[in-house]
């Protein structure tokens, strides 16, 4: 899952980005509101973490711009503005949730999971595809009731497949879900990961449509 962090404080932005990567999110980080708006016009995300006190265009301006553009990506505001009027204004401008700094990362991650679930139309953190089950809160995958040992990238790729079963995804789409800006992507990285996953979940579970991409089968 891909996250856009919009934060001009270098210490907060860096620590938040690193923590999100440790939680198996793909992270892009921008430092002003204008860049956030431009980015969101061309790159889809699963969720946006948005500061309000931004240069160029403030967070409220970002919210207004992306909602006017019919960009429906969930937005979680992370800000030092703790007045009730600020929280009401943020939510009324299109934010989905609001957390005041300083915050606990565990709470931020939990609220992110809620917003992502809501956007996907899911009631809990459990995703089931055939004999595979995924717990997005604990980053755990089970097959026939037994845990599977996955690398971080294998987990991220399998999550991408399981959240959209039977949907064919191109190599570019899969790379976008796994690698943020500046991430070094080898030409055969996706093929290598799929090969590794097939060894663990079954050779026939992840199928290829020649010239189009791959998908995970419900069977």
Q: Is 146 exposed, middle or buried (0-12, 13-18, 19+ CB in 10 A)?
A: exposed
- From the list 31, 29, 37, the residue with the least C-alpha distance to 3 is 29
Residue 187: per-residue pLDDT: 79
Residue 217 CB partners (closer than 8 Å, separation 6+): 130, 165, 166, 204, 205, 206, 207
Each residue of 100-115: pLDDT tens digit?
A: 998 999 999 999 999 9
CATH code at position 88: 3.40.50.2300
How far apart (Å, rounded) are the C-alpha atoms in residues 190 and 156? Answer: 11
Asked if 92 and 145 sit in the same domain, the reply is no
- Kind and range of the H or E element at 75? strand 75-79
d(CA 59, CA 76): 11
* Residue 24 in tokens: 């198996």
Task: Count how many domains the chain has.
Answer: 2
Residues 137 and 196 in one domain: yes
Same domain, 152 and 74: no
Q: What is the CATH number of the domain that holds 148?
A: 1.10.10.10
Are 69 and 173 contained in the same domain? no
Q: Which domain holds residue 85?
A: 2-120
How many Cα atoms within 13 Å fall on the side-chain side of residue 89?
12
> Is 89 within 8 Å of 61 (Cβ atoms)?
no
- Which range among 80-84, 155-159, 173-177 has the greatest average pLDDT? 155-159
Q: At 124, is the pLDDT very low, low, confident or very high (cuts 50, 70, 90)?
A: confident
Considering the domain architecture, whether residues 131 and 111 belong to the same structural domain is answered as: no
Model confidence over 184-197: pLDDT tens digits? 677 788 999 999 99
How many Å apart are CA 196 and CA 57, to the nearest integer?
Answer: 44
The yes-or-no verdict on residue 9 having pLDDT over 90 is yes
At 182 the pLDDT is 67
């Amino acid at each position: 899952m891909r996250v856009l962090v919009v934060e001009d404080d270098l210490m907060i932005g860096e620590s938040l980005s690193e923590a999100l990567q440790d939680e198996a999110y793909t992270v892009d980080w921008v430092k002003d509101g204008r860049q956030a708006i431009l980015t969101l016009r061309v790159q889809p995300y699963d969720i946006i973490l948005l500061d309000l006190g931004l240069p160029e265009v403030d967070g409220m301006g970002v919210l207004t711009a992306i909602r006017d553009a019919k960009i429906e990506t969930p937005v979680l505001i992370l800000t030092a503005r703790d007045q009730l009027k600020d929280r009401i204004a943020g939510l009324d401008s299109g934010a989905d949730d609001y957390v005041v700094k300083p915050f606990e990362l565990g709470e931020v991650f939990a609220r992110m999971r809620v917003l992502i679930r809501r956007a996907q139309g899911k009631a809990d953190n459990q995703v089931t595809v055939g004999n595979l089950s995924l717990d997005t809160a604990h980053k755990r995958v089970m097959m026939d009731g037994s845990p599977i040992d996955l690398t971080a990238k294998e987990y991220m790729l399998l999550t991408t497949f399981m959240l959209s079963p039977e949907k064919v995804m191109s190599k570019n789409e899969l790379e976008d879900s796994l690698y943020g800006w500046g991430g070094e992507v080898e030409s055969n990285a996706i093929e290598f990961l799929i090969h590794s996953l097939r060894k663990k979940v079954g050779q026939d579970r992840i199928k290829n449509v020649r010239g189009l991409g791959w998908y995970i089968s419900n069977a």
